[in-house]
Amino acid sequence: MTPLNQAKARDDFSEDARRDLARVISALFDRWQLDTELQMHLLGMSPKSRKQLPKYRSGELALPGNRDTLDRSGYLLGIHKGLRLLFPEDEELRFTWVHRRNQALEGATPLEVMVRDGLLGIARIARLIDFQRGR
């Protein structure tokens, strides 16, 4: 992607949209019961930025408009959507799935894969859920 296209992609997400995204992602992290360090890691942000989390949660601060953070957020929301479709009747499983060991991940949890492999791990988990939905 050229620098011009990257700038345009970032412009597609207004500050208001990124504020809404921050609130939704924060709510998802709460449901997944993730600590501050894990939240920051999944968003690709420095642990030094942890003081921003309450501002994201309240909508006072928009998520950064960089491609990495937006891609991570998109995949995380895709994971949530896929889990809602896979487990429509089981809310507990939907929100604890990321903490459960998985044979398809050689006994690792989805959260371990996402933390260990960053954006690629998050994308891998999103693809795994899409594959499981397609069976």
Per-residue pLDDT tens digits for 8-67: 454 567 999 999 999 999 999 999 999 999 999 999 998 888 888 889 999 899 999 999
pLDDT > 90 in the chain, percent: 81
pLDDT score, position 40: 94
Mean pLDDT of 99-109: 97
- Rounded CA-CA distance 110/101 in Å is 7
Which of 49-53, 72-76, 99-103 has the lowest average pLDDT?
49-53
Segments in the chain forming alpha helices (H): 3-11, 15-32, 36-42, 53-58, 67-86, 91-96, 110-133
Cβ–Cβ under 8 Å, residues 73 and 25:
yes
| pLDDT attached to residue 2 | 41
For the residues 82-91, what does the mean pLDDT come to? 96
Where on the phi/psi map is residue 96: left (φ > 0), alpha (ψ -120 to 50), or beta? alpha
Sequential DSSP letters for 82-111? HHHHH-TT-HHHHHHGGGS--GGGTT--HH
Nearest to 114 by CA among 78, 86, 84: 78
Half-sphere exposure of 72 (CA within 13 A, CB side): 23
- Please state, in angstroms and rounded to a whole number, the distance separating the CA atoms of residues 120 and 130: 15
**Is residue 115 over pLDDT 90?**
yes
pLDDT number for residue 12: 64
Boundaries of domain holding 113: 3-133
Counting the structural domains of the chain, the total is 1
Using 50, 70 and 90 to split pLDDT, how confident is the model at 135? low
| Cα-trace Rg, the chain | 15
Lowest mean pLDDT among 48-57, 84-93, 102-111: 48-57
- Nearest-angstrom CA–CA distance, 32 and 14: 27
